[in-house]
Amino acid sequence: MRLMGIVNVTPDSFSDGGLFLDPERAVAHGRELVAAGAEILDVGGESTRPGAEAVDATLERERVEPVVAALAGDGVAELSVDTSKAAVAAAALDAGATIVNDVTALRGDPELAGLCAERGCTLVLMHMQGTPRTMQAHPSYDDVVDDVRAFLAERIAVAVSAGVDERQIWVDPGIGFGKALAHNLELLRRLGELRVLGRPIVVGSSRKSFIGALTGRDVGDRLGGTVASNVLALAAGAEVFRIHDVLEVGRALRIAEAVLRSPSPLR
């Protein structure tokens, strides 16, 4: 189990847009997440919330690079860059990142696969139907789990054919990315079916809108739903948890892991 803390260096992310746009505040927030138990920090300079506007590579790099460099210099957490642009990924890797988290699964920039292969970094391939601008318009699937699994298998093959070491690939079903409420619930219910891909599963359900739809709570009051969805994901075999509330969710996951993984002393 690994906790991936979220550091959004953006003005418009759905959960904390603008709070950490200043690099110094973003770095301080990252350090707080590490103190709370994050082993990985995922730094992003472009919002991928539904309807978000695209950001050019130059601006995204200006937001991300100094934050990654400062946090990497601490040497206490692994750094991930949340980007689909090769130029931004290259700058972040140069600054000390070791993970590229691509929500487009190598569809956004044809040069990104080759870069990841050359650098030998970990690559996260996420499923998304459409783009952040269009993904929640009319999401539709024959069977959401089968469709996501087939997509991720195909993107793994693309990455490997470009020279990426398959052992360096993680997969993310993309909770909330081009999915209606029923799709998100079905993915969490049947998450274990993605284990046939043979790669670590990343789950990012933290504070997502499906929790708000079920609970009626706004984005700042979704901790209970975030804990529940991540504990269920752990039970289904997820290994990496991308979260905002690292301390609280981490505590819940550690208890759940102890119950699920430890042998019974009564046997």
Enzyme catalytic residues: 208, 242
Strand order across the 78-82 sheet: 169-172, 122-126, 99-102, 78-82, 40-44, 2-8, 240-243, 202-203
CA gap 187, 173 in Å, rounded: 8
Chain-centroid distance of CA 50 in Å reads 15
Say how far residue 155 (Cα) sits from the centre of its chain.
16
201 strand-pairing partners: 171
User: Any idea how long the chain is?
Assistant: 267
CA-based torsion, 70, 71, 76, 77: positive or negative: negative
DSSP string, 109-152: -TTHHHHHHHHT-EEEEE--SS-TTTTTSS---SSHHHHHHHHH
User: Quick one: tokens of 224?
Assistant: 């209970």
